[in-house]
Amino acid sequence: MTFSSLLFPALLCLGLASAHPVPESPKWLTYSGEKGPGKGKHIVLITADQEYRSEQSMPMMAKVLSKHHGFDTTVLFGVNEKGEVDPTMPVYPKKGKEAEFKSHNIPGLEHLARADALIIITRLLTLPMEQQKLIVSYLDSGKPIIALRTANHGFRGNLPYEIDGKKINFGRDLLGGAFMGHHGRWHADSTRGTIVEALKNHPIATGVTDIWGPSDVYRTYKEGTSLPGDCTALVWGQPLMGRSYEDKPNTKKEPLPVAWFKNWKTTTGKNARVFHTTMGSGKDLESPGLRRLVINATYWGLKMEKQITANRSVEFVGEYKPLASGFNYEKLGVAPKLPAAYK
């Protein structure tokens, strides 16, 4: 018997033989999966928005997925020149000062190559070309894409992604809809989500009994039209007359789809499973129903439908108190912080 044959079982007992696929770094967060169906799978979560506190919600979701479901998770942040997570970074250059505009930066995108699934919430980013290409490489891999809220206008202009000579718009083409306006009152209405009756037995809907969030409904298609034919609406969102759970419906505003799924055919002919919800602010994800919907969609994207159960926990791991949405950063208490602050 060799020394290595004796050592390997010992390493298994210590949990060292299944190390996290991404090395620890002050530039991002990693969480190793505990017991659960996701053991051995790796999910990357990208957070880089300026309005909806995804810098708080994505670490929370990563911890839930690791602790209760067994997935290894990595959270990648948009950061400033100091390496701080910075939701206050402008998305447009000031007029006459275009040369001073700073591109956004998401360190660690090379780790998408080792991801089994992607959960993304970005907003109007201008990224260096090498980072855009890393994202496109994942999008064209055939692996699942779970996109939240502002991801449907997640980048300024198109990424360098073409299929059969057509430039691909991440929101409109790949996700199935891009932001066209607030369907109701911005930062004044909330949303009640209802599962489509015919799809109540769909795997993504398993155990989802209640969906509500204080963000408003997005419109992603013109009035008089509908979702693209390759999208299947799963949840309709009714605007409410206020930002409280008990508020009444705004009967002047019809429900619109706030969650749907589709397939995305890549340049190599692979079919990626795609799920998009226009909900997903930090406060929205206080809803257990919405958290379960997103987590179920991740299982579905990975073709792990048989592993979805109605009773597997989606409870917070530790404290979760997201700040309110908005751009009044000083009033809201939003300031640049190092990634470790969100651990």
**What integer is the mean pLDDT of 16-43?**
92
Q: What is the pLDDT of residue 149?
A: 98
Average pLDDT, the chain: 94
What is the model's pLDDT at position 8? Answer: 46
| Residues sharing a CB contact under 8 Å with residue 38, sequence separation 6 or more, in sequence order | 65, 69, 70, 71, 72, 304
| Rounded CA separation 229/130 (Å) | 33
Q: Residue 18 — pLDDT band, cuts 50, 70, 90? A: low
Residue-wise pLDDT tens digits, 255-308: 999 999 999 999 999 999 999 999 999 999 999 999 999 999 999 999 999 999
pTM beyond 0.85: the answer is yes
Question: Which pLDDT score is estimated for 314?
Answer: 98
For the segment 41-47, the average pLDDT, to the nearest whole number, is 98
Q: What is the pLDDT of residues 180-220, one digit of tens each?
A: 999 988 888 999 999 999 999 999 999 999 999 999 999 99
Question: How does pLDDT run across 147-179, given as a tens digit for each residue?
Answer: 999 999 999 989 999 999 999 999 999 999 999
In the chain, what are the domain boundaries? 23-181+258-342
Of 140, 150, 162, whose CA–CA distance to 264 is shortest?
A: 140
Any idea which residue has 């009152």 for tokens?
Answer: 185
The CATH class for the domain spanning 23-181+258-342 reads: alpha beta
Strand 181-183 versus strand 166-167 pairing type: unpaired
Checking if the pLDDT of 249 tops 50, the result is yes
pLDDT at 99: 86
pLDDT at residue 334, as a whole number: 97
How far, in Å, are 18, 71, 144, 333 from residue 39 at the CA level? 9, 5, 17, 37
Buried b (16+ CB within 10 A) or exposed e, 157-175: eebebeeeeeebbbbbbbb
Residue 4 dihedral angles phi and psi, to the nearest 5°: -65, -35
pLDDT at 184: 85
